[in-house]
Amino acid sequence: MRRKSVLRLAAGGLCLGVVAVLGLSGAAAAAAPTVPPGTTVCTSQISAGAGVTLSGSVTRNTSGALWKVTVASTPGGVETEVLRTPTGPVTFRLPPTHVTPPVPGTYHFRGCVTVTGPLATTVQIQLTPITALALSGAIAAQAVTTSNLPPGSVICTDKIRSDRGTAFYGFVRSASALWTVRAGSTADGTDSPILQLTSAEPSTTYTSWPGTFYYRLCVTQTQPASAAGRWHHFAQPSADAAAGIGPYTATLGSGGYFCGPSTSSSARILGTSSVPVRWTVDVENGDGDFLRTVDLGTSTSLDQLLTPADNEYFNACVRNTATSPATLALDLT
């Protein structure tokens, strides 16, 4: 049996009635007629312990949209934004995006979408509780470049401490990838996924959770062919924010390659790998122009001092030259 509920639809301060359909699973959905830019459509609030999945769409090629998930600790309580991600006129559909709490408990979620223009559009939005989600078990900040990411490879950034959450954007060329934001309460402790999104090129996506957490971004190559990519993970502006905590970690297929931590001052490059890999440093100038590559040798471990010259930036890199996958860590200290 299904029942109807009245949702919020705000446009320029004007409140309009919108019908949501709620199923037995507790899912909340909303469908709006053609609405002008500036209109916000929200689902009703649903309770979930394992998190929620947000999905939806606007009319193809006519308007952009901004999608959000909010959470409250009590029904009808104060709501805090925990996810914000845009879709554009070309990417008109939001793929299923999973939001899961880093701390066990029962939370009360709401999904909203704001039409950002330039044209009026119809809106579909659905918020579904997660009951059994096969979250990525990826092994455990600012920019990562991969020149070759074989199938099944997983790369995780170092951690960012933030009391206002983090954001990311990027691409995996000619392939779709699984983007996972993980969060934990300590710098060297365990963490858990709080967001998962499958996309070839996600727009800037913001995720946060009330309190101070340590966040990292993991990217999994899920397609059958190798692909290049680049992504950025950064903290929301905050006096408590700190980046570059701990190592980059990866499971890298044969021939896989990535560059992670970078520095413009003296630092030690530390690396460990389950198989021999080639360690290198890409050198750039202050404008980001490539200057040269420094080869640090092929081994299962690395500990070496780096000293960039004036106006030089060192990017630590690793390539799996073995025939089997490498489980590795790469850090600058």
Indicate if the pLDDT at residue 18 is higher than 70.
Answer: no
Residue 300 DSSP SS3:
strand
Residue with tokens 């909203």: 112
Residue 310 DSSP SS3:
coil
- pLDDT number for residue 15: 27
Q: CA-CA distance, 67 to 56, in Å (whole number)? A: 9
- When pLDDT is cut at 50, 70 and 90, the band that residue 26 belongs to is low
Lowest mean pLDDT among 283-287, 295-299, 303-307: 283-287
- pLDDT number for residue 237: 73
**Hey, what amino acid is at 123?**
V
pLDDT tens by residue, 209-265: 888 999 999 999 988 888 888 888 988 777 788 888 999 999 999 999 999 888 889
Q: CA-CA distance, 94 to 9, in Å (whole number)? A: 19
Q: CA-CA distance, 35 to 122, in Å (whole number)? A: 6
- pLDDT number for residue 204: 85
What's the CATH class of domain 3-129?
A: mainly beta
Rounded to a whole number, what is the largest CA-CA distance in the chain?
70
Domain locations in the chain?
A: 3-129, 143-332
Q: Checking phi first, is residue 287 left (phi over 0); if not, alpha (psi -120 to 50) or beta?
A: alpha
**Hey, what amino acid is at 57?**
S
Q: pTM for the complete prediction?
A: 0.76
Residue with tokens 């990535």: 258
DSSP per residue, 243-281: EEES-EEEEE-TT-EEEEEEESS-EEEEEEEEEEEEEEE
DSSP per residue, 202-240: PPPEEE--SS-EEEEEEEEE-SSS-EEEEEEEEEPS-TT
> Does residue 100 or residue 4 have the better pLDDT?
100
Indicate if the pLDDT at residue 282 is higher than 50.
Answer: yes
Nearest to 67 by CA among 199, 175, 183, 185: 199
Q: CA-CA distance, 5 to 17, in Å (whole number)? A: 10
- When pLDDT is cut at 50, 70 and 90, the band that residue 17 belongs to is very low
pLDDT tens by residue, 319-330: 999 999 999 999
Indicate if the pLDDT at residue 11 is higher than 90.
Answer: no
- pLDDT number for residue 100: 86
What share of the chain in percent tops pLDDT 70?
A: 83
Q: CA-CA distance, 100 to 109, in Å (whole number)? A: 10
- pLDDT number for residue 96: 87
- pLDDT number for residue 60: 62
